[in-house]
Amino acid sequence: MKPRALDYVRARSIDHAIELLSTGADARVLAGGQSMMPAINMRLASPDVLIDIGRIDELRSIEVGSHLRIGAAVTQAEVAGHPDVLHRWPMLTAAIAQIGQPPIRNRGTVCGSLAHNDPQAELPAVAVALEAVVTSQSRRGTRSIPADEFFRGTFTTSLEDDEIVTAVDFPEPALGQGWAFQEFSQQPGDLATAGAAVVLNRREAAANRVVVFGVGVGPTRATLIEEAIRYTTDPSLDPQLVDRWGATLSPFDDAHASAHTKVQHAKQIVVRAVAEARGRMS
Ligand SMILES: Cc1cc2nc3c(=O)[nH]c(=O)nc-3n(C[C@H](O)[C@H](O)[C@H](O)COP(=O)(O)OP(=O)(O)OC[C@H]3O[C@@H](n4cnc5c(N)ncnc54)[C@H](O)[C@@H]3O)c2cc1C
């Protein structure tokens, strides 16, 4: 299938991109194009105008300080290959390694994956687990949106049509924090049928996060599991509790797996990920 005719504009700056988005035409942002272009080619999306933000210098930086700031034009491969990210935000590196194949990660952006919010995507779950904050900009100004409030449902976020994501910030993980990122997919590089991003804190158990993806409408906190592990250091989870939690999930059947299989995978993944995160606590 071929896409229908559309206009393509390469934005020179953030202001230029915002101006182009505010014209009233059905304009969409193009970052790495790894989700947008397949959608256009399959006519699942038919915007009038594509606004390419990939060469805007202001969006191209990775800043490392007390937090990690990733600009909206930074690719997943650039983040995964950054030495400070590997040492200080290893969950990001681990999750990016699971996204498609190297050519996808060489073009796809971290912020694009967040804005797209595919329910099977790794990075929205990581953003919720690590309490990331998304920065967006429009003619009305700049907004900081905590990941907990950013993801609204399947392929849906709290972004307005005229707003672009300019960056995402990941705070420094707490000292002694344990983490794990696990997913199950039919073959390496396939979208996950279920996955989990887990963060456990020795000093502040209330800040524990167990986030699953692939089994709902986007990244979902497993609050039943979070509550249960708050007051114990046992790395294993009670199987009855895991069954009760599994019964709260409502994934849908797709070409990769049935809903039933996804729930079974999610239960196994959560058990493994919690044990792995416990093992990493210091
Ligand atoms: C073969 C294949 C395998 C893949 N496997 C996986 C996988 O295993 N896991 C996974 O998570 N993804 C996978 N992907 C998708 C890939 O990771 C995409 O890169 C990612 O989902 C979107 O990033 P992008 O920069 O390419 O965004 P684009 O495709 O350019 O955009 C995606 C959507 O987000 C919007 N958008 C992008 N950036 C912004 C912004 N800054 N502000 C506002 N809106 C924005 C666009 O308008 C569009 O609606 C795969 C893709 C392919 C083709």
For residue 9, pLDDT beyond 80: yes
Query: Are 204 and 228 within one domain?
Result: yes
Q: Is residue 1 part of a domain?
A: no
34 in contact with ligand 1, CB cutoff 6 A: yes
Ligand 1: which residue has its CA nearest to atom 47? 29
Same domain for 41 and 97, yes or no, is no
Distance CA 268, CA 250 (A): 16
- Domain assignment present for residue 23? The answer is yes
* 2 within domain boundaries: no
Average pLDDT over residues 150-165: 96
Which of 14-18, 22-26, 70-74, 272-276 is the least confident region?
22-26
| Domain end (from 126, 141, 171) | 171
- pLDDT for the residue 202: 81
- Whether the pLDDT of residue 2 is over 80: the answer is no
Find the range with the poorest average confidence among 132-146, 152-166, 242-256. 242-256
Closest ligand 1 atom to the C-alpha of 136? 42
Average pLDDT of every residue of the chain: 94
Say if residue 254's pLDDT is above 90.
no
Among residues 17, 33, 52, the one where a domain terminates is 52
pLDDT at 145: 98
Q: Return the pLDDT at 135.
A: 98
| Domain containing residue 27: CATH number | 3.30.43.10
For residues 59 and 31, what is the distance between their CA atoms, to the nearest angstrom?
10
Choosing from 171, 203, 220, the residue where a domain stops is 171
Q: Identify the CATH number of the domain in which residue 95 sits.
A: 3.30.465.10
Average pLDDT estimate for 193-214: 92
CB proximity list for 229: less than 8 A, separation 6 or greater: 200, 205, 208, 210, 237, 274
Q: Which pLDDT score is estimated for 189?
A: 82
Residue 111 maps to a domain: yes
Task: State the Cα–Cα distance between residues 71 and 94, nearest whole angstrom.
Answer: 19
Q: At what angle do helices 259-280 and 239-246 cross, to 10 degrees?
A: 130
Q: Ligand 1 in contact with 35 (CB < 6 A)?
A: yes
User: What's the rounded mean pLDDT across residues 92-104?
Assistant: 97
Structure tokens at 205: 């158990």
Cα–ligand 1 centroid distance for 42 (angstroms): 15
For the segment 187-205, the average pLDDT, to the nearest whole number, is 89
* pLDDT of 23: 87
Half-sphere exposure of 152 (CA within 13 A, CB side): 10
Same structural domain for residues 137 and 162? yes
Task: Specify the pLDDT at position 99.
Answer: 97
pLDDT tens string 120-130: 999 999 999 99
Residue 262 forms part of a structural domain = yes
Residue 123 CA to ligand 1 center (angstroms) comes to: 10
Higher-scoring residue by pLDDT: 277, 236:
277
- From the CB of 105, is ligand 1 less than 6 Å away? no
* Residues 73 and 145 placed together within one structural domain of the fold: yes
Same domain, 63 and 165: yes
In a domain, 108, yes or no: yes
Q: Are residues 246 and 262 in the same domain?
A: yes
Q: Is the CB of 208 under 6 A from ligand 1?
A: no
Q: How many folded domains does the chain comprise?
A: 3
Q: pTM for the complete prediction?
A: 0.96
Q: Is there a single domain that holds both residue 152 and residue 185?
A: no
Question: Which range marks the domain in which residue 86 is found?
Answer: 57-171
Rounded distance from Cα 204 to ligand 1 centre (Å): 34
* 64 and 48 in a common domain: no
Range 192-220 average pLDDT: 91
